[in-house]
């Protein structure tokens, strides 16, 4: 992989194979504004390239292992063709059975045979991005490419330059969706190990009208014997005045998975967003959570839990910009690390000069279960207003040996005691995860991982 330099920092050249091989055939490119937005993103990503550890936002996370995989952007609907083993695994991934409107993407492509969108109420559109861009792209004028920050997030630019499918949720003013929406990403990787591993670029557009309310459950899973693959996902979320969105994101992929997500959130006056992010799977993952307040009295809450062990690197970056007065935000992330696992938490709260009466706080707490585990944590405050209430903090610690001894003296094994204390550490984050089936699924995954973990 060749590298080039600019005046600010070294960059990696963008591999051409990561881009769509047929850009002129991408959905929506018959519309001049969409084609222009893709062209701008493509120019940005080719000219600016990919960052290295010399870039401040990437100083703790190298792209070396990602670049070594020689991924190729999946070119056609052939990715929907699955063998019997994959078919069974997809059916299993649909569990726990949730009473939801369900959209299933297989290797980044909409799979109608596993999706369920019957009996949608009036004023609600849930569809694939490919269909909407080809049939009624004007409906996405306020969302698609309008919220995402391609100038500062190169993988977001890469996604916009190459995306061809994803999820669209459009909810009209005043509509409350009683049933949750489930977005299930199922990845098979390359089932033939001699085939170049695929890279997918799913793109999701979500817009809630004035006073609208909805719940979104997003899960990333792999089939049991999935080969190597990379998912580079982008979400653009626009909340109109007084809109409310509850959003759960679960990354439960195999250790052959490389995962990138850029969530770009825009909140108007009085809107309310509550997100919970669970990171358990993947060999290498990076999640960027970007929030922009454009109206007063808006509230954003981001919670997260990551479990990181051997052969894993997990990186969370938060960028919360208070650009208007009287908004509030709360970010709470916890990490459990063991073996030689490595995690990164880099969070920034920006309070602009006119953003008086801002109330914001960010915490990151980490539990290291082994000597070789590593956490790089950097919560930050950047404040230019004088009438604010803001705080940030971080902790890194180990299990209390006295508590371990006490539980063992009551008949628990050391492994059981470690599990109990670890789940107790994570409890205040996990209690916000709903519905109950998801909560139980995450608890079970954590227990299984800790049972077989090396310390």
Q: Long-range contacts of range 381-387, CB-CB < 8 Å, 24 or more positions apart? A: 381/348, 381/349, 381/351, 382/348, 382/349, 382/350, 382/351, 383/351, 384/351, 384/352, 384/353, 384/355, 385/351, 385/352, 385/353, 385/354, 385/355, 385/356, 385/358, 386/356, 387/356, 387/357
> Beta strands 313-322 and 342-351: pairing type?
parallel
User: Which of 30-39, 183-192, 230-239, 286-295 shows the lowest mean pLDDT across its residues?
Assistant: 183-192
pLDDT of residue 437: 87
pLDDT of residue 75: 57
- Using CA atoms, how far apart are residues 307 and 299, in angstroms rounded to an integer? 27
User: Which of 154-163, 188-197, 199-208, 340-349 shows the lowest mean pLDDT across its residues?
Assistant: 188-197
- Mean pLDDT estimate for the chain: 92
What's the mean pLDDT in 253-264?
Answer: 96
User: Which of 11-15, 263-267, 404-408 shows the lowest mean pLDDT across its residues?
Assistant: 11-15
pLDDT of residue 4: 38
CB 239 within 8 A of CB 270: no
Instruction: Tell me the pLDDT tens digit for each residue of 112-127.
Output: 988 999 999 999 999 9
> Pick the residue with more confidence: 26 or 188?
26
- The SS3 of residue 148 is coil
pLDDT of residue 226: 82
Residue 3 pLDDT > 90: no
Domain boundaries, the chain: 3-295
Instruction: Tell me the pLDDT tens digit for each residue of 369-403.
Output: 999 999 999 999 999 999 999 999 999 999 999 99
Q: Residue 121 is encoded by which pair of tokens?
A: 């109420």
Q: Residue 192 is encoded by which pair of tokens?
A: 């033939």
What's the mean pLDDT in 440-449?
Answer: 92
Say what the alpha-carbon torsion angle 95, 99, 103, 106 is, to the nearest 10 degrees: 10
Confidence of residue 330 (pLDDT cuts 50, 70, 90): very high
Instruction: Tell me the pLDDT tens digit for each residue of 21-67.
Output: 888 899 999 999 999 999 999 999 999 999 999 999 999 999 999 99
Q: Residue 439 is encoded by which pair of tokens?
A: 């909560």
CB 389 within 8 A of CB 358: yes
Instruction: Tell me the pLDDT tens digit for each residue of 55-114.
Output: 999 999 999 999 999 899 975 555 555 666 667 767 777 766 678 999 999 999 999 988
């Amino acid at each position: 992989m060749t590298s080039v330099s600019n005046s600010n920092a070294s960059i990696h050249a963008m591999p051409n194979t990561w881009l769509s091989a047929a850009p002129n055939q991408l959905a929506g490119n018959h519309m001049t504004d969409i084609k222009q937005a893709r062209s701008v993103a493509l120019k940005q990503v080719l000219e600016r390239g990919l960052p290295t550890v010399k870039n401040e936002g990437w100083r703790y996370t190298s792209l070396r292992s990602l670049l070594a995989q020689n991924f190729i952007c999946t070119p056609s609907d052939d990715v929907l063709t699955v063998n019997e083993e994959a078919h069974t695994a997809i059916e299993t991934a649909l569990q726990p059975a949730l009473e939801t409107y369900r959209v299933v993407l297989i290797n980044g492509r909409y799979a109608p045979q596993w999706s369920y969108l019957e009996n949608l109420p009036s004023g609600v559109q849930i569809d694939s991005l490919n269909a909407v861009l080809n049939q009624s792209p004007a409906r996405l004028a306020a969302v698609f490419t309008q919220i995402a920050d391609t100038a500062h997030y190169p993988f977001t630019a890469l996604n916009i330059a190459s995306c061809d499918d994803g999820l669209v949720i459009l909810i009209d003013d005043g509509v409350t969706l009683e049933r949750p929406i489930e977005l299930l990403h199922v990845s098979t990787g390359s089932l033939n190990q001699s085939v170049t591993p695929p890279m997918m670029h799913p793109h999701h557009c979500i817009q809630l009208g004035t006073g609208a309310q909805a719940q979104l459950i997003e899960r990333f899973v792999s089939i049991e014997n999935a080969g190597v693959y990379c998912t580079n996902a982008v979400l653009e979320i626009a909340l109109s005045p007084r809109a409310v969105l509850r959003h759960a994101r679960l990354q439960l992929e195999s250790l052959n998975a490389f995962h990138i997500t850029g969530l770009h959130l825009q909140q108007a006056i009085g809107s309310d967003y509550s997100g919970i992010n669970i990171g358990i799977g993947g060999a290498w993952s990076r999640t960027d959570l970007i929030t922009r307040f454009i109206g007063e009295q808006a509230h954003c809450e981001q919670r997260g839990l990551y479990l990181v062990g051997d052969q894993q690197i997990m990186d969370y970056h938060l960028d919360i910009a208070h650009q208007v007065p009287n908004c509030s935000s709360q970010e709470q992330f916890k990490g459990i690390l063991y073996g030689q696992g490595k995690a990164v938490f880099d969070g920034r709260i920006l309070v602009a000069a006119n953003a008086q009466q801002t109330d914001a706080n960010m915490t990151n707490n980490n539990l290291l279960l082994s000597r070789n585990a590593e956490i790089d944590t950097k919560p930050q405050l950047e404040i230019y207003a004088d009438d604010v209430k803001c705080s940030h903090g971080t902790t890194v610690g180990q299990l209390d040996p006295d508590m371990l001894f006490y539980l063992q003296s009551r008949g628990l094994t050391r492994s059981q005691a470690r599990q109990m204390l670890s789940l107790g550490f994570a409890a205040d984050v996990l209690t916000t995860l709903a519905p109950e089936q998801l909560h139980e699924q995450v608890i079970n995954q954590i227990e299984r991982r800790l049972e077989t973990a090396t310390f």
